[in-house]
């Protein structure tokens, strides 16, 4: 048989189906989940965009008043959760535990015609996601109904082909999982290394017990000073700067010390602060978000950002690390004012105690931390490439752009 005829026969073995033919909704409800032994719930923020698995959750007992009666839909480990609100966010994934979710989340499982391992990849298929978005209703808070999702038509391969497609996609997914685990472990190392260097320096054998201004005793390296942050830096108060650059809170990455965007000051009429190259921009609104950036150029910023100018005793790179450290973050959160939108105030921040090495040691510490962060960035940069590979292969394999030849053993 010719290669062309073999390919044609393989294509012809696929069946046109609707999603509702091979996937079913599960409507198990529980209105007293704690009594029945459930401890975890999943809300929209726990389902991460583009992730195959749902691993985050909240505590039903702790958040019972927050989640309310809408969270009564039961899901089981291995079932798929699909967020019907704002389908463009692509929030769908396999549950890795039992729990409850809101009645706006679909709980789904495959029928016999569709093997469970291929099941989640269909919901991450670009063709299906377009269908979900196009069939959403409502403008302010768009949602998609199961009856419209169930009408999604596609070509379903026979189960021996499903197995082979699943194996290919799973191999990519394992690579994603492994790399994300490496990134998580290396991120933890970065945090630990930063905290260690900022408080204990290089030589742990040369520590001495010193009394802090708060009256407690801490072991710090010999020769280091204990200073209030306000003695080492101040808020810049310049009226103007020759720049069109505007930085808002939305432009600073969460916990990354990098920018994720920029604005033009001409588009912002509200009150603004001036910053200069070398200043540290610190997001004082909701300090738990950990938004810190060392400015690489002059510009303007939102009044929810503090432009901090260091003196000659404190290197700007070290201040950036101090403000993004876990220790400082806990201090800023505990001293913030407000409940719904807590803000850290300079009047409190300036009292934060800093263990201050010599400028030469500061530069060495900054260099070590910078090298570590660059390696972490390199790891992170590979993750989107793997997600793109999974997306491309999913589309090519499920759209019959790539046809897997039949094997002699039928698999």
What number of CA atoms fall less than 13 Å from residue 273's CA on the CB side?
Answer: 22
| Residues 274 and 392 placed together within one structural domain of the fold | no
| Residues 24 and 66 placed together within one structural domain of the fold | yes
Does some domain include residue 125?
Answer: yes
Contact 41, 71 (CB under 8 A): yes
Q: What residues have CB less than 8 Å from 134, skipping those under 6 apart?
A: none
Query: What is the pLDDT at residue 209?
Result: 86
Taking the C-alpha atoms of residue 204 and residue 194, their distance in angstroms, rounded to an integer, is: 15
> What are the 10-residue block averages of pLDDT along the chain, 411 residues in total?
52 90 95 92 93 94 84 95 93 95 94 94 96 92 95 95 95 96 94 90 80 80 91 94 95 92 90 94 94 96 96 94 92 88 93 92 91 92 96 94 68 45
Domain span at residue 192? 158-201+359-405
Query: What is the pLDDT at residue 410?
Result: 46
Could you report the per-residue pLDDT of 295-304, keeping only the tens digit for each? 999 999 999 9
Q: What residues have CB less than 8 Å from 345, skipping those under 6 apart?
A: 284, 335, 336, 337
Query: What is the pLDDT at residue 411?
Result: 45
Taking the C-alpha atoms of residue 219 and residue 39, their distance in angstroms, rounded to an integer, is: 41
| Residues 259 and 179 placed together within one structural domain of the fold | no
CA 216, 220, 221: angle at the middle one, nearest 5? Answer: 160
Does some domain include residue 209?
Answer: no
Does some domain include residue 151?
Answer: yes
Q: Is 157 helix (H, G, I), strand (E, B) or coil?
A: coil
Taking the C-alpha atoms of residue 49 and residue 46, their distance in angstroms, rounded to an integer, is: 9
Does some domain include residue 34?
Answer: yes
Q: How large a percentage of the chain has pLDDT more than 90?
A: 75
* Six token digits for residue 9: 């026969």
| Residues 78 and 178 placed together within one structural domain of the fold | no
Report the domain count for the chain.
3
CA 204, 208, 211: angle at the middle one, nearest 5? Answer: 135
Does some domain include residue 310?
Answer: yes
- Burial (CB count <10 Å: 0-12, 13-18, 19+), residue 396: middle
- What's 77's domain CATH number? 3.90.220.20
Q: Is 17 helix (H, G, I), strand (E, B) or coil?
A: strand
Taking the C-alpha atoms of residue 268 and residue 155, their distance in angstroms, rounded to an integer, is: 50
- What's 363's domain CATH number? 1.10.287.1120
Contact 258, 242 (CB under 8 A): no
Does some domain include residue 218?
Answer: no
Query: What is the pLDDT at residue 4?
Result: 53
| Residues 145 and 268 placed together within one structural domain of the fold | no
Does some domain include residue 3?
Answer: no
| Residues 48 and 111 placed together within one structural domain of the fold | yes
Q: Is 369 helix (H, G, I), strand (E, B) or coil?
A: helix
* Six token digits for residue 399: 């759209």
| Residues 31 and 151 placed together within one structural domain of the fold | yes
Taking the C-alpha atoms of residue 87 and residue 408, their distance in angstroms, rounded to an integer, is: 41
Could you report the per-residue pLDDT of 128-161, keeping only the tens digit for each? 999 999 999 988 889 999 999 999 999 999 999 9
| Residues 242 and 337 placed together within one structural domain of the fold | yes
* DSSP per-residue letters across 247-282: E-GGGB-TTTSSBS--EEGGG--S-EEEE-TT-EEE
Residue 299, strand partner residues: 275
Q: What residues have CB less than 8 Å from 208, skipping those under 6 apart?
A: 219, 220, 221, 222
Could you report the per-residue pLDDT of 188-208, keeping only the tens digit for each? 999 899 989 998 888 766 888
Query: What is the pLDDT at residue 211?
Result: 79
Domain boundary (156, 171, 190) is at 156
Tell which residue, 312, 278, 272, 311, has the closest CA to residue 293: 278
| Residues 347 and 232 placed together within one structural domain of the fold | yes
Q: What residues have CB less than 8 Å from 207, skipping those under 6 apart?
A: 200, 219, 220, 221, 222
């Amino acid at each position: 048989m010719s290669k062309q005829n073999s390919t044609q026969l393989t294509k012809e073995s696929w069946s046109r189906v609707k999603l509702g033919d091979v996937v079913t909704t599960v409507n198990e409800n529980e209105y007293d989940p704690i009594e029945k032994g459930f401890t975890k719930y999943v809300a929209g923020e726990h389902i991460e965009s583009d992730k195959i698995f749902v691993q985050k959750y909240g505590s039903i007992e702790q958040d019972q008043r927050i989640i309310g009666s809408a969270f009564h839909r039961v899901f089981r480990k291995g079932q798929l959760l699909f967020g019907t609100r704002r389908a463009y966010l692509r929030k769908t994934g396999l549950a890795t535990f039992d729990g409850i979710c809101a009645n706006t989340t679909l709980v789904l499982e495959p029928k016999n015609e569709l093997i469970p391992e291929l099941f989640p990849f269909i919901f991450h298929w670009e063709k299906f996601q377009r269908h979900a978005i196009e069939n959403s209703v409502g403008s302010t808070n768009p949602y998609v109904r199961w009856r419209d999702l169930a009408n999604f038509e596609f070509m379903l391969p026979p189960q021996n082909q499903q197995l082979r497609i699943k194996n290919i996609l799973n191999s990519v997914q394992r690579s994603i999982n492994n790399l994300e685990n490496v990134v998580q472990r290396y991120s933890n190392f970065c945090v630990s290394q930063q905290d260690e260097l900022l408080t204990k320096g290089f030589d742990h054998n040369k520590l001495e017990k010193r009394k802090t201004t708060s009256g407690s005793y801490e072991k710090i390296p010999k020769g280091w000073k204990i200073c209030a942050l306000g003695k080492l830096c101040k808020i810049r108060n310049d009226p103007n700067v020759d720049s069109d650059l505007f930085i808002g809170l939305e432009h600073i990455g969460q916990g990354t010390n990098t920018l994720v965007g920029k604005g033009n000051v001409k588009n912002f009429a509200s009150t603004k602060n001036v910053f200069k190259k070398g200043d540290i921009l610190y997001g004082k609104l909701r300090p738990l978000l950990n938004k810190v950036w060392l400015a690489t150029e002059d510009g303007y910023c939102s009044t929810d950002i503090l432009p901090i100018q260091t003196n000659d005793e404190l290197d700007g790179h070290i201040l950036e690390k101090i403000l993004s450290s876990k220790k400082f973050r806990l201090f800023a959160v505990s001293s913030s004012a407000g409940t719904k939108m807590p803000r850290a105030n300079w009047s409190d921040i300036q009292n934060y105690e800093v263990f201050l090495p010599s400028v030469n040691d500061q530069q060495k510490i900054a260099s070590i931390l910078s090298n570590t962060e660059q390696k972490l960035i390199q790891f992170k940069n590979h993750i989107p490439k793997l997600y793109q590979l999974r997306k491309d292969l999913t589309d090519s394999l499920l759209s019959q752009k790539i046809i897997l030849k039949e094997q002699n053993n039928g698999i």
